[in-house]
Chains A and B, each alone.
Chain A
Amino acid sequence: MKLFPIRGGIHPDYRKELASEKAIVALPMPAALYIPLQQHVGAPAEVLVREGDLVKKGQMIARSGGAVSSPQHAATSGQIKSVTDIPAPHPSGLAQTTIIIEPDGKDEWIELPEPIADPFTVDPHAIHERVAQSGIVGMGGAAFPSAVKLNLGTQKKLEILLLNGAECEPYLTCDDRVMREYPEEIIDGARIMAHALGTARVVIAIEQNKPQAIEIMTRAASAFAEVEVIGVSVQYPMGSERHLVQAITGLETPARKLTADLGVVVHNVSTARAVHHAVRFGRPLVARVVTVSGGAIREPRNVWTPIGARIADLVEFCGGFSARPESVVNGGPMMGQPLATLDAPVVKGTSGILALTAEEINDRPTSACIRCGSCITICPCGLSPVEMAAFIRKDNLDVAAKLGVMDCFSCGSCSWVCPSHIPLVHYFNYAKGALNDLELERRKNERVKTLAEARTIRIEKATEAKRAALAARKPASDAAPPAAGAEAKAAIEEKATS
């Protein structure tokens, strides 16, 4: 199949060999699981359990909190220790409501929903429903509720389900391992998703630095004519949804549109496996594969981790730190978030935990920009990082917005390539946050203004009505000169319309 080029991009040190040959191993059940209510994009889930309740593995312990939300399930059987605020896996380290489960060691499943007998003939809604009930969210890191994305087929005519196995982030090997070890499950899940979406084709895109995964997946897909496995070029950020769609179809998703508008929906390979589990066995999403790697980890591994295990438990399972980590990162080194604490739990979107040494991070003091233009050459979004950063430094956010800072998805390529070590992405993240705040403020002000204007008009109308009633009661002869009354009325009307 013909592939299409994508703009820019970089070739970082992938260092996937640290973990790529380590088969998936299960984490022994930790002493407690911490299941946050917000593990996804959208509204947080609503708690269904109380302190002291006994729960079984797979039992729903928090229900979906809205149209874009996702329920949470107990990842093992045990007792609810408390529902309390603990630090979230987020750079701020701020607390969020979390359900704490004390495992009973039996790891006993609840009575699961019946498998969907023939998922290729049922109404797509049955699949949406099952995926939504199973708490499945995008497992590539974005954690967008998958059922919402699977529903796109009801609104738009779709052609291709694109399964994202690019895994373009350095270090991460969780998708690689899942593809190598569970190819049939992924392909079955993908075919079910394709049915739910109404797409005729399934394309599985894998970066060519994973030859075993390509081979194994191709073999597993050979039984199905509609499923195609494609090796895409190794170029960060190939795994970006829009760029992957461009590489496969040649189509560029217009700004403010979705890839679905082009007829393509992108899901992660591990998400497909989760759908397979939900549909074929009724199992909700209660565990995932997490790559624990980095130069400061004694024994890098790919770990089958119950949702809610603390990151500290994972690190300990992998032999602890062999050196002092300069940073511990949640996700890949390019787009991952720094972790403030190891007490935070693994959530559904946690693809990797990396403990990186200063040498690997290769950070240096920032020096002056020499206008080499590398950041412009490599920006996969066609932006001018050097120029945007210059305006953001002066807090000239309007110009930065005009230059397209909101189109930046923080892939990190510009920061990576900058010879002056200017933290460009940091500037853009700051600007995006500040611009979002300004936009919220503007909307709020607009709303207040509309309300205030409506009130003024209402009061004036009432006053006028009163005056008219008063005038009507008085005899015409001793009323004020009619001209004056008309003038006042005109003035009020003018005020109301201005």
Chain B
Amino acid sequence: MSVASIKKSGPFAHGYSTVQKTMFLVLLALAPATAFNLYLFGWPAILLFTVTIGACVAIEAGCLALAGKPVKATLADCSAILTGWLLAMSLPPWAPWWVGILAAIFAIALAKHAFGGLGQNVFNPAMVGRTVMLISFPVSMTIWVAPHPLFSAGAPGLLEAFAITFGGNMPDTMSAASALGYIKTELSRGIPVTQSMGQVPDLMDMALGFRAGSLGETSALLILAGGLFLMAKRIISWHIPVSMMGSLFLIAALFHAIDPARFTSGIFHLLSGATFLGAFFIATDYVTSPVSKPGQIIFGIGVGLLTWSIRNFAGYPEGVAFAVLLMNSLTPIIDQYTRPRAFGRSRKGEPLPLEKKP
């Protein structure tokens, strides 16, 4: 009596995690912070968010079809939605529609599929999309708005939002500077941090998210909640977030202590820009970060230190995206040097010496 044909060796049991489930949980973790920011920045943000994700999914479908890969089955893994979601969160909330579409092309077609699709890309697709746009269209990519919650006085209605997103009618009076950008500009005019800090939102508002910034990055607290949820679900571990934010905080606090007129505080660095979003959702991207825990700590420290350096010494006020991309390029090397030690062998792969008996 012969039984079913034998296709492969064991195990004949499997855990319940799937790529799709993983991606879905990340989306779920992003939802509160996103919902809050969509509310905060109103209809134009909702339109841009929709356009960006739609473009990412459409481009993913096109690339898959071109590469002759199964389109429906691969789209179902939700990875394009996640990339589009993170990309949208990193764009200025009232940016015009073409920003979202161009960014999606760079993210999905160039950063992801040109490298071979899911799992093959060296650089974080969303961050490639954002930085290429930032370098190519510095003006459109740095127009920030102060929060204009939905339905509040002065907030654009749906029709006005269409004019802003699709007609390019950004009302001049609406724009505002991000805290990091404001302080950088003031410094360049010779105004010390100690003085310019008075003009940025206080720390409580920054933690809650009532500040100008990218579409999804402003609420540190809700992003933290999402990050903790992912940790509880064992999707991410503490290694990258803690090492990245820890190193950023320590170096910022150190220099702030040395020269408070030149350098902002550690807390300010943590709560401004994309620190939280980057630490929990971007630097932790599986594909582009190291696979081993020690490697992840090195990676996180690198991202933290580079972020601080770029914020303080480079031409751009914000550095998380650049820092992540730079460390992405080191990931293969970090992986090579942080392999775990094999059972019964030394780090070099030699058999261990015999220990004393029990």
Q: Which residues of A contact B (CB under 8 A)?
A: 7, 10, 12-13, 91, 93, 157, 159-160, 170, 242-243, 249-257, 261-264, 312, 324-329, 333-343, 354, 356, 360-365, 367-374, 376-377, 379-384, 386-387, 402-404, 407, 410, 412, 415-421, 423, 425-426, 429
Contacts and interface: CB of A to CB of B under 8 A. Distances in A.
Contact of B118 (A7, A354, A370, A374): A370
Given A242-B343, A333-B11, A381-B343, A159 B21 contact: no
Contacts, number: 204
A329 B12 contact: yes
Contacts of A254: 344-345, 351-354
B136 interface: no
B14 interface: yes
Nearest to B295: A373
Contact of B343 (A159, A382, A425): A382
A412 B10 contact: yes
Interface string B313-330: 000000000000000000
Nearest to A261: B354
B22 A334 contact: no
A403 to B, nearest CB: 8
Nearest to B3: A328
A156 to B, nearest CB: 10
B4 A327 contact: yes
Contact of A370 (B73, B119, B351, B354): B119
Given A338-B12, A342-B3, A7 B343 contact: yes
Contacts of A324: 4
B77 interface: yes
A250 B356 CA distance: 11
Contact of A380 (B10, B18, B118, B343): B343
Interface stretch (B84-92, B124-132, B286-294): B286-294
B19 A370 contact: yes
Contacts of B341: 382
24 contacts: A250-B358, A252-B344, A252-B355, A254-B344, A257-B344, A312-B1, A327-B3, A327-B6, A338-B9, A340-B3, A342-B1, A342-B3, A370-B19, A372-B22, A376-B292, A380-B343, A381-B343, A384-B292, A410-B10, A416-B14, A419-B19, A419-B22, A423-B8, A429-B9
A387 B336 CA distance: 10
Contacts of B54: none
Given A255-B351, A407-B344, A416 B11 contact: yes
B1 A335 contact: no
A371 B1 CA distance: 41
B15 interface: yes
Interface in B1-41: 1-4, 6, 8-19, 21-22
B287 A371 contact: yes
B336 to A, nearest CB: 9
A47 B26 CA distance: 63
Taking residues whose C-beta sits less than 8 angstroms from the other chain, chain B's interface range is: 35 or more
B191 interface: no
Contact of B13 (A250, A361, A374): A361
A338 B10 contact: yes
Given A333-B13, A381-B342, A407-B343, A159 B19 contact: no
Contacts of A262: 354-355, 357-358
A367 B77 contact: yes
A423 to B, nearest CB: 5
B11 to A, nearest CB: 3
B6 A340 contact: yes
B344 A367 contact: no
Nearest to A373: B291
B34 to A, nearest CB: 22
B211 to A, nearest CB: 33
A170 B293 CA distance: 29
A159 B356 CA distance: 12
Contacts of A242: 343-344
B10 A329 contact: yes
Contacts of A423: 8-9
Contact of A361 (B12, B18, B290, B358): B12
A371 B331 CA distance: 11
Contact of A263 (B17, B291, B357): B357
Given A252-B344, A369-B119, A419 B18 contact: yes
A415 B15 CA distance: 9
Contacts of B13: 12-13, 170, 333-334, 356, 360-362, 412, 416
Given A328-B3, A335-B11, A384 B339 contact: yes
B120 A417 contact: no
A380 B344 CA distance: 11
Nearest to B237: A377
B352 A417 contact: no
A419 B21 contact: yes
Contacts of B11: 333-335, 412, 415-416, 425
A369 B339 CA distance: 18
Interface in B166-201: none
B316 to A, nearest CB: 28
Most chain B beta-carbon neighbours within 10 Å: one of A157, A327, A337, A387? A327
A352 to B, nearest CB: 11
A354 B358 CA distance: 38
A215 B349 CA distance: 42
Given A262-B357, A363-B14, A416-B15, 14 more contacts: A7-B343, A255-B343, A333-B10, A334-B12, A341-B1, A343-B1, A367-B118, A373-B291, A412-B10, A417-B17, A420-B18, A423-B8, A423-B9, A425-B11
